[in-house]
Structure 1
Amino acid sequence: MSGERAQPVREQGTEQDADVDADAASTEPEADTDAEPAPVTNGAQSVVRALENAGVEYLFGVQGGAIMPVYDALFDSEMTHVTMAHEQGAAHAADAYGIVTGKPGVCLATSGPGATNLVTGIADADMDSDPLLALAGQVPTDFVGSDAFQETDTTGVTRPVTKQNYFAGDADSVGDLVGEAFALAERGRQGPTLVDLPKDVTQGETDHEPGPARTPDTYRPAERADESAVREAAEAFAASERPVILAGGGVIKAEASEELRRFAIEHEIPVVTTMPGIGAFPEDHDLSMEWAGMHGTGYANLALTMTDCMLAVGTRFDDRLTGGVETFAPDAEIIHVDIDAAEISKNVQADYGLVGDAKAVLDQLYEAVAPTPDADEWRAQCREWKEQYPMTYEAPDDEPLKPQFVVEAVDEATPDDTIVTTGVGQHQMWACQYWEFTEPRTWVSSHGLGAMGYGLPSAIGAKVAAPDREVVCFDGDGSFLMTCQELTVAVREELDITVFVLNNEFIGMVRQWQDGFYEGRHMASEYGWMPQFDTLAEAFGAQGFRIDDYDEVADTVEEALAYDGPSVVDVHVDPAENVYPMVPSGGDNGLFALSEDQL
């Protein structure tokens, strides 16, 4: 799909088309699959060769002057390029691709505004530790610092939001630099990297063949935790009476979900996840307390508040999870497992810090914990909390459609391995509250950065990563408007994604906070008017649907999911509906509010 030879990611054709193709293929000579690739002659070809060496299959980007040599080199590559409508969309799509596959997604942009438009997506990947490689064009080295046309100090701008970034200095080394950036994004604590590519470097002559993608010899992230520290932590855990596991996004990134499940089920330990950790443990399991934090379940927040020993794996204890740190798990010994030593005791003081890969350390703990904690009463208490504070909502027939009902209807109509992406806002919370997640890498959202507009481009990246799986996007009207132009990509590439816009004509989460904390003064949160998103979808070439009441939900959901291509469902929901439970910012997780009058 590179350059002028763009082809759909998901090719569609009739049986007759297939016969014609087969006849044509039979008359053409077979390709020599063992043929040596053409030799590298310039820096741009070296960049492309480095990506090929790393096993990259898909790239997301937007063309431009300074990055054009790289795109010219892509013309002869077998890699598939997806041309996005906006560079922010390219970064979000690549980010989602990395979340679903576990391999770094790759995005490209030109210099200046192209590079700065990537920054939101790069910052999102940095906050959520997602594997991402960004390649940005740059003005020729002789022009750097002269305020040349479309010049930006890209490495300076992105240094705070990347795991590492590079300025490519010459054509001979640029390929190996790109390979190193790719490897560094993937290994250890994953995160975004960026390579700034001056145009004279990518156009410069070289015959250097880049080697395989590899990290610097000095980069040695820990795999296994210190054995003595593991033994001490295991003894504390085995002696606890109210143990709980807190599973963060690091469990999924380390491919440690099976190890987590084995450990939890073997020792019958209630499991709470963070929002990025959704899917690490099946939410239909009796031990699941689902996810905790500002809008997490009441029973998850109570479990974290009342535990006497918390095994926290792959979480950075951000403020939306902990509420006020001084009231977070006040009586608990904290066992903190993380691959990044800098996270240990950064926000929450750890009694036992285990630095290592989550998969390996969970194996170590599995072998070390004996006996199983005596926690029958604790498990009974956790079950009681689930019965006392269920995730329910009222849906009177004489009131507008409730968004929670729509989320549950779509969940019921789709397979368990469906990938759910969202924008940011109330719709995001309803999606993760009322969708039952049972598998890792099925929840794709913007957590730490909270970037509105993430939903649609991330659905594109997710579908490219998993073309045989259902991909559903829940978006809000405000969030959808920020990146709805990416529908052109979904239509062009014939991507079978379904977007449900939960339309309340508000920036809903802002409105909810204004009602709760600003005396209902709706400044700049009430739109009062929205375009007809079903009609807008048709203008883009997608299929449009509209839902206004309960009677339309089941049939419309079924029809939208059945449509073989991108579809948008404009769902008009109750504009007054709020997200609860809620822990006010900096509040006590154990004192969650179930309604506005409890804030």
Structure 2
Amino acid sequence: MSERGSTAVPVEEQTTTTNDPADEPSPITTGAQSVVQALSVAGVNALFGVQGGAIMPVYDALYAETDLQHVTMAHEQGAAHAADAYGQLTGEPGVCLATSGPGATNLVTGLADADMDSDPVIALTGQVPTELVGHDAFQETDTVGVTRPVTKANYFAEDADSVGDLVGKAYALAREGRPGPTLVDLPKDVTNGETDQTPGAPALPKYHEIQEIADESAVEAAASALESSSKPLVLAGGGVIKGDATEQLRTFAKRHEIPVVTTMPAIGSFPEDHELALEWAGMHGTGYANMAISHCDCLLAIGTRFDDRLTGGIETFAPAAEIIHVDIDPSEISKNVAADHPLIGDAGTVIEQLASAMERSPSAADWRTQCQHWKSTYKMSYDCPKDGPIKPQFVVEAMDELTPDETIVTTGVGQHQMWAAQYWTYTEPRTWISSHGLGTMGYGLPAAIGAKVACPDQEVVCFDGDGSFLMTIEELSVAVRENLDITVCVLNNNAVGMVRQWQDAFFEERRMASEYPWVPAFDKLAESFGAAGFTIQEYDEVADTLAAARSYDGPSIVDVFIDPEENVYPMVKSGGNNAEFALSEEQL
């Protein structure tokens, strides 16, 4: 007898069947679950965000996802900066989340920063339900419209069935070709909606093409220019690191004995302790790097956008040089500096093409001797009287001596950023994490958090200024909560130092709104957060205090009282000639 409600099948008609998993209906999930699945399929390990009403369905879907580490940040700007640093260090897009309205708009500074520096980031923002969009609903903002100018691509999710693949597309776009930030705006009805669709692996749009191999005839012409050069120079840009081309760069430069200059974003792409290294060029770059650029006859520029802080006045930048410009983004070719030999393609691939095309090295022995002469003549140095206030350069060098080569350095923006770039010797890529194009004060601390999450086994040191540190100090609560072992050195001069330096030089010392008559005691403030706090006021305290801060298992803050009148040199006036760098205020 069959059970009630069932249909009996005669014994002789029964057959054995095997269920094909492909025939099984997909389980019903929500759009939010599809978003989380898309992140998992992409291989995402960590996310940085702040909860809120419109993004809450996505966070609810994250509740059951044990393979994704979520770091709750104190502010959405901090989430974007942490994701930015994470993306720079891993090469995979860092993920940040925020709710609608102020949550989304608080991400804008971080997205603009990532956009200027071509850093891979994907932002997921909550949005009011679709039917309320355009009706000034609570915490509604046109997030797609607001962020369009500062993202590589952004999308408004329209339905639960497609949202997972949309997130995958945004992820792929953030990573592939020239990296950059992307955003997906997620209306609450879409993330709450049901779907039986399973997102696939991240995939680029069909129309999106990336040229990786440069035109062969253009490569041969560029190789010939290098071979016949007597004053060749490599200018490595941030694209060398983002394109994982540091090994190709190092092999090429060493094989052909060509001196190497970097941009600030490319610090670490070529070891600064190598005899061919001239370190970084530009407004506050080394005198010898700027002299080499100004006198070379062939400049191989790789993965740089020739921004104004590098070039100074365009008309005086590498005036006698044939320009070979390698970039994966064709829009950068001849945008600022006209290229004699445009090579569109992936940095590492094009370097290998050039290496194959070059039959001999340039005859440049005299040029290398000249570059060494400039290194001796314009050596980076500073006065350090032991009976005076602490010089910030001394602190940077002291910390460098204490730490291993693979230590990751993050900074805010200002004088401290320049000293950290100038007086730390970088030998490895992805160890210098800073804000370059946008110049975002407050970047350092949240970037240190993202760096430590990305590379938990590497030491992370943040150099910050008192003004920059105060802009995102709330993120110290995150470092304590997550027990992140980072060391922050606040180079404290009671001022927005770079502004004060410019006021002294160009505004007849009218120090309007640049000096602080009072700043907090950062060591005590650190302790109130639950971090370790230290203070340095004398030279003989530097080594032991830095060592104690490093040995503390958790976040530590070192408040270093530096000479408030110390300035950053060399310095090229804005729009000036790089060869006419100043070594003191009197020379400006």
- Give the Cα–Cα distance (whole angstroms) in 2 for the partners of residues 408 and 126 of structure 1: 31
Superposed CA offset, 1:225-261 (max 9, x none)? 0111000000011100100000000000000000000
- Give the Cα–Cα distance (whole angstroms) in 2 for the partners of residues 154 and 570 of structure 1: 39
- Give the Cα–Cα distance (whole angstroms) in 1 for the partners of residues 409 and 27 of structure 2: 42
2:35 is aligned with 1:47: yes
Q: Deviation at 1:218?
A: 1.6
2:380 is aligned with 1:395: no
Specify the code of the residue in structure 1 equivalent to 2:163: V
Q: Secondary structure at the match of 1:122?
A: helix
- Give the Cα–Cα distance (whole angstroms) in 2 for the partners of residues 74 and 254 of structure 1: 31
Structure 1 residues not aligned, in runs of 5+: 1-35
- Give the Cα–Cα distance (whole angstroms) in 1 for the partners of residues 200 and 241 of structure 2: 29
- Give the Cα–Cα distance (whole angstroms) in 2 for the partners of residues 370 and 310 of structure 1: 18
2:96 is aligned with 1:140: no
**CA 1:401 to 1:39, structure 2 compared with 1: closer, same or farther past 3 Å?**
farther
Q: Deviation at 1:370?
A: 2.2
The equivalent of 1:27 in structure 2 is: none
Specify the code of the residue in structure 2 equivalent to 1:453: G
User: Structure 1 length normalisation: TM-score?
Assistant: 0.94
The equivalent of 1:325 in structure 2 is: 314
2:268 is aligned with 1:268: no
The answer (yes or no) to whether the contact 1:96–1:444 under 8 Å persists in 2 is: yes
Specify the code of the residue in structure 2 equivalent to 1:579: V
The answer (yes or no) to whether the contact 1:293–1:301 under 8 Å persists in 2 is: yes
The answer (yes or no) to whether the contact 1:40–1:209 under 8 Å persists in 2 is: no
Q: Deviation at 1:40?
A: 5.0
Superposed CA offset, 1:427-466 (max 9, x none)? 0000000000000000000000000000000000000000
The equivalent of 2:61 in structure 1 is: 73
Match of 1:583 among 560, 572, 577: 572
- Give the Cα–Cα distance (whole angstroms) in 2 for the partners of residues 216 and 530 of structure 1: 51
2:476 is aligned with 1:476: no
- Give the Cα–Cα distance (whole angstroms) in 1 for the partners of residues 33 and 167 of structure 2: 12
2:78 is aligned with 1:62: no
- Based on CA coordinates, which of the two structures has the bigger radius of gyration? 2
Q: Deviation at 1:349?
A: 0.3
The equivalent of 1:536 in structure 2 is: 525
Match of 2:101 among 82, 106, 112: 112
- Give the Cα–Cα distance (whole angstroms) in 2 for the partners of residues 52 and 88 of structure 1: 24
- Give the Cα–Cα distance (whole angstroms) in 1 for the partners of residues 359 and 446 of structure 2: 47
Q: Percent identity of the aligned residues? A: 73
Specify the code of the residue in structure 2 equivalent to 1:558: A
Q: Secondary structure at the match of 1:317?
A: coil
Q: Deviation at 1:39?
A: 4.0
- Give the Cα–Cα distance (whole angstroms) in 1 for the partners of residues 559 and 181 of structure 2: 34
Specify the code of the residue in structure 1 equivalent to 2:557: V
The answer (yes or no) to whether the contact 1:292–1:301 under 8 Å persists in 2 is: yes
- Give the Cα–Cα distance (whole angstroms) in 1 for the partners of residues 487 and 137 of structure 2: 43
Q: Deviation at 1:494?
A: 0.6
Q: Following superposition of structure 1 onto structure 2, how do residues 168-317 of structure 1 map, counting pairs within 5 Å?
A: 168-317=157-306
The answer (yes or no) to whether the contact 1:104–1:131 under 8 Å persists in 2 is: yes
Match of 1:501 among 481, 490, 493: 490
The equivalent of 1:26 in structure 2 is: none
Superposed CA offset, 1:322-360 (max 9, x none)? 000010000000000000000000000000000000010
Superposed CA offset, 1:383-442 (max 9, x none)? 000000000000101210000000000000000000000000000000000000000000
- Give the Cα–Cα distance (whole angstroms) in 2 for the partners of residues 553 and 447 of structure 1: 29
The equivalent of 1:123 in structure 2 is: 112
In the alignment of these two chains, the number of paired residues is 564
- Give the Cα–Cα distance (whole angstroms) in 2 for the partners of residues 102 and 201 of structure 1: 30
Match of 1:374 among 339, 360, 363: 363
Specify the code of the residue in structure 1 equivalent to 2:180: G
Specify the code of the residue in structure 1 equivalent to 2:38: A
2:479 is aligned with 1:490: yes
Q: Secondary structure at the match of 1:224?
A: coil
Match of 2:448 among 440, 451, 459: 459
Superposed CA offset, 1:73-95 (max 9, x none)? 00011211000000000000000
The answer (yes or no) to whether the contact 1:279–1:442 under 8 Å persists in 2 is: yes
Match of 1:360 among 345, 349, 352: 349
The answer (yes or no) to whether the contact 1:515–1:521 under 8 Å persists in 2 is: yes
Q: Following superposition of structure 1 onto structure 2, how do residues 502-581 of structure 1 map, counting pairs within 5 Å?
A: 502-581=491-570
Specify the code of the residue in structure 2 equivalent to 1:199: K
- Give the Cα–Cα distance (whole angstroms) in 2 for the partners of residues 220 and 201 of structure 1: 30
Q: Deviation at 1:486?
A: 0.4
The equivalent of 2:140 in structure 1 is: 151
- Give the Cα–Cα distance (whole angstroms) in 2 for the partners of residues 73 and 581 of structure 1: 52
The answer (yes or no) to whether the contact 1:320–1:585 under 8 Å persists in 2 is: yes
User: Structure 2 length normalisation: TM-score?
Assistant: 0.95
- Give the Cα–Cα distance (whole angstroms) in 2 for the partners of residues 395 and 303 of structure 1: 28
Specify the code of the residue in structure 1 equivalent to 2:85: A
- Give the Cα–Cα distance (whole angstroms) in 1 for the partners of residues 523 and 452 of structure 2: 21
- Give the Cα–Cα distance (whole angstroms) in 2 for the partners of residues 43 and 88 of structure 1: 26
Superposed CA offset, 1:490-543 (max 9, x none)? 001010000000000000000000000000000000112110000000000000
- Give the Cα–Cα distance (whole angstroms) in 2 for the partners of residues 245 and 152 of structure 1: 46
The equivalent of 1:433 in structure 2 is: 422
Specify the code of the residue in structure 1 equivalent to 2:35: V
Q: Deviation at 1:369?
A: 1.5
- Give the Cα–Cα distance (whole angstroms) in 1 for the partners of residues 153 and 434 of structure 2: 23
- Give the Cα–Cα distance (whole angstroms) in 2 for the partners of residues 262 and 153 of structure 1: 48
Specify the code of the residue in structure 2 equivalent to 1:436: T
Specify the code of the residue in structure 1 equivalent to 2:298: C
Superposed CA offset, 1:353-378 (max 9, x none)? 00000010001011111210000000
- Give the Cα–Cα distance (whole angstroms) in 2 for the partners of residues 370 and 396 of structure 1: 53
The equivalent of 1:11 in structure 2 is: none
**CA 1:569 to 1:39, structure 2 compared with 1: closer, same or farther past 3 Å?**
farther
Superposed CA offset, 1:63-112 (max 9, x none)? 00000000000001121100000000000000000011111000000000
- Give the Cα–Cα distance (whole angstroms) in 2 for the partners of residues 291 and 343 of structure 1: 20
- Give the Cα–Cα distance (whole angstroms) in 2 for the partners of residues 179 and 102 of structure 1: 16
2:583 is aligned with 1:594: yes
Q: Secondary structure at the match of 2:174?
A: helix
- Give the Cα–Cα distance (whole angstroms) in 2 for the partners of residues 166 and 275 of structure 1: 32
Q: Secondary structure at the match of 2:154?
A: strand
Specify the code of the residue in structure 2 equivalent to 1:470: E
- Give the Cα–Cα distance (whole angstroms) in 2 for the partners of residues 80 and 383 of structure 1: 48
**CA 1:39 to 1:93, structure 2 compared with 1: closer, same or farther past 3 Å?**
farther
Q: Secondary structure at the match of 1:107?
A: strand
2:408 is aligned with 1:408: no
The answer (yes or no) to whether the contact 1:40–1:46 under 8 Å persists in 2 is: no
The equivalent of 1:337 in structure 2 is: 326
The equivalent of 1:90 in structure 2 is: 79
The answer (yes or no) to whether the contact 1:111–1:139 under 8 Å persists in 2 is: yes
